[in-house]
Structure 1
Amino acid sequence: MTGSRTIVPRRLRLPDGRQVWCTRPAEALLMWREISSDGFYRRGVRQLRPGGVVLDIGANVGLVSVALAAENPGIRIIAAEPVPDTFECLRGNLEQHVPGGVAVRTAVAATAGTQQLTYYPDAPGNSGLYADRQADDALTRTFMRNGGMDDEQIDLLIEGLHEGQTIEVPVTTVSGLLRRHGVERVALLKVDVERAELDVLRGVEAADWARIDAVVAEVHDEQGRLAEFCGLLHAAGLSTETRQDPSLYGTELFEVYGDRS
């Protein structure tokens, strides 16, 4: 690890009263509001049934897993997160709020091994294998402007936000997770991996696609990535829909939902 510093986990009370571990409370609250809005994550919640398996890829501190388990008692969640600081929060949140939830400290990509990841301590949700400080600053700037902030406020908040540390992380594939945890069928594959979305899909072996019922993902539409991502889902037999939250107008961030309906 280069340029590392210690981050102390903190307790955060969510709007519904539950307490969770996180490293950046303001970011965690933004994530919770996104999960709670009427987007594609909500559609994923509604289609789950007891006994269904969810793969939470790019779990961060596990707020999606917490929300899914709260509304769907009896589901099984396997959550993957590679960054040590956020993984410790994920593990604590699963232990407290997700009965039987399994936390796996790993990135998920096209092939297994190890890779270099850029970790942003002050913006952990933007960390990733393909982090781009200039692009991440620009995206955050547009998001803040859409929220009504003026440029002077934005300049103050964004300064140093995406100063990164390089860490080496273990990497597995979706198919590797299925084998390791004895998963026969995936009710929902959730993907939020900051520009590594295609890598995740490419790590699904051809024979395993028929075992995946639905996918919900955040996709960075750079260099045609959104069309390619949807094309891979179509090739696997899933129909797709895309949307962009109003708070993200003017950015390359889109949500994708695909299923076999």
Structure 2
Amino acid sequence: MTGSPTTERRRLRLPDGRLVRCTRPAEASLMWREISGDGFYRRASRGLRPGDTVLDIGANVGLVSIAFAAENPGLRVIAAEPVPDTFDCLRANLDRYVPGGVAVRTAVAATAGTQQLTYYPDAPGNSGLYADRQADDALTRTFMRNGGIDDESIDLLIEGLHDGHSLEVPVTTVSGLLREHGIGRVALLKVDVERAELDVLRGVAPADWSRIDAVVAEVHDEEQRLAEFCDLLRAAGLSPETRQDPSLNGTELYEVYGDRS
């Protein structure tokens, strides 16, 4: 394991030359490829307009917020990330690349309070309230195998990758964020929270769903979570679609996009 992200402030240069703060450049580079590919994030971005409000839940270092704001100048972004090291990078990136963007150090779930979160220093993007080392190792193994990496190399790459420790983090709800930041309408709710996707939706008060125009999310389809997630969107008046990137074939990871069209 390399040194702690607390002492190692790293940077990634994006293809357009922008330099972003991150805790693990290799992981951030993979995230950027996912965001900029022809998936639902791109589709969601095309539906935004200057002046719209985006809630970026599970913002990590803010790459989705940066991509959305670059394509839609004047976007209002509220980005939530609970892990202190990752949050520091998020705040710096929003300050530099998302004018008016607000970083909030919090997890987002069904109820407000505090919860224990498992943080993986070598794989920050896989950290979460429901982190599962065995499942995360298996998912990463399949992703790498799909990318053409041989099993012996995979064994070396994932050794210790998901060694984690517990952090107590503050928790709020989507409706709590709407109240706290005086948000009247949300053009897009983005959710990437590593198995806590249903908790995020359950934290939207029934009266607030009509204020949310679209949702884009990464969903772990364990115990029928994907179907339940889509059912909740339908109940809120959104029409969900699902897809799986070919690089994730054989895993439980899916993208979901739902809007009111």
Give the TM bin, normalised by the shorter chain: over 0.9
Residue of structure 1 in register with 2:133 after alignment: 133
Residue of structure 2 in register with 1:102 after alignment: 102
Residue of structure 1 in register with 2:51 after alignment: 51
Residue of structure 2 in register with 1:215 after alignment: 215
Superposed CA RMSD in Å reads 0.8
**Equivalent-residue separation in structure 1 for 2:171 and 2:119 (angstroms):** 15
Residue of structure 2 in register with 1:156 after alignment: 156
Deviations 1:107-133 (A, max 9, x none): 000000000000000000000000000
Mapping of 1:230-241 within 5 angstroms? 230-241=230-241
Aligned amino acid, residue 201 of structure 1: L
Residue of structure 1 in register with 2:112 after alignment: 112
**Equivalent-residue separation in structure 2 for 1:23 and 1:5 (angstroms):** 5
**Equivalent-residue separation in structure 2 for 1:5 and 1:184 (angstroms):** 37
Contact 2:65 2:98 (8 Å CA) reproduced: yes
Where do 4+ consecutive residues of structure 1 move more than 3 Å?
4-7
Displacement of 1:88 after TM fit?
Answer: 0.1
Displacement of 1:12 after TM fit?
Answer: 1.4
Displacement of 1:11 after TM fit?
Answer: 1.6
Displacement of 1:7 after TM fit?
Answer: 4.3
Residue of structure 2 in register with 1:39 after alignment: 39
**Equivalent-residue separation in structure 2 for 1:251 and 1:11 (angstroms):** 29
Partner secondary structure for residue 136 of structure 1: helix
Displacement of 1:79 after TM fit?
Answer: 0.1
Residue of structure 2 in register with 1:87 after alignment: 87
**Equivalent-residue separation in structure 1 for 2:232 and 2:157 (angstroms):** 37
Mapping of 1:199-214 within 5 angstroms? 199-214=199-214
Partner secondary structure for residue 226 of structure 2: helix
Residue of structure 1 in register with 2:168 after alignment: 168
Displacement of 1:15 after TM fit?
Answer: 1.3
**Equivalent-residue separation in structure 1 for 2:14 and 2:5 (angstroms):** 27
**Equivalent-residue separation in structure 2 for 1:129 and 1:23 (angstroms):** 19
Contact 1:145 1:151 (8 Å CA) reproduced: yes
**Equivalent-residue separation in structure 1 for 2:81 and 2:28 (angstroms):** 15
Q: TM-score, normalised by structure 2?
A: 0.98
Partner secondary structure for residue 219 of structure 1: strand
**Equivalent-residue separation in structure 1 for 2:25 and 2:46 (angstroms):** 27
**Equivalent-residue separation in structure 2 for 1:8 and 1:66 (angstroms):** 22
Which ranges of structure 1 fall in alignment gaps of 5 or more residues? Answer: none
Residue of structure 2 in register with 1:256 after alignment: 256
Deviations 1:171-196 (A, max 9, x none): 00000000000000000000000000
Deviations 1:176-220 (A, max 9, x none): 000000000000000000000000000000000000000000000
**Equivalent-residue separation in structure 2 for 1:237 and 1:164 (angstroms):** 38
Residue of structure 2 in register with 1:145 after alignment: 145
Residue of structure 2 in register with 1:226 after alignment: 226
Partner secondary structure for residue 233 of structure 1: helix
**Equivalent-residue separation in structure 1 for 2:43 and 2:215 (angstroms):** 10
Displacement of 1:50 after TM fit?
Answer: 1.0
Q: Name whichever of 198-207 and 4-13 sits farther off.
A: 4-13
Displacement of 1:6 after TM fit?
Answer: 3.3
Partner secondary structure for residue 140 of structure 1: helix
**Equivalent-residue separation in structure 2 for 1:174 and 1:193 (angstroms):** 13
- What is the aligned-residue identity percentage? 84
Contact 2:191 2:216 (8 Å CA) reproduced: yes
Partner secondary structure for residue 240 of structure 2: strand
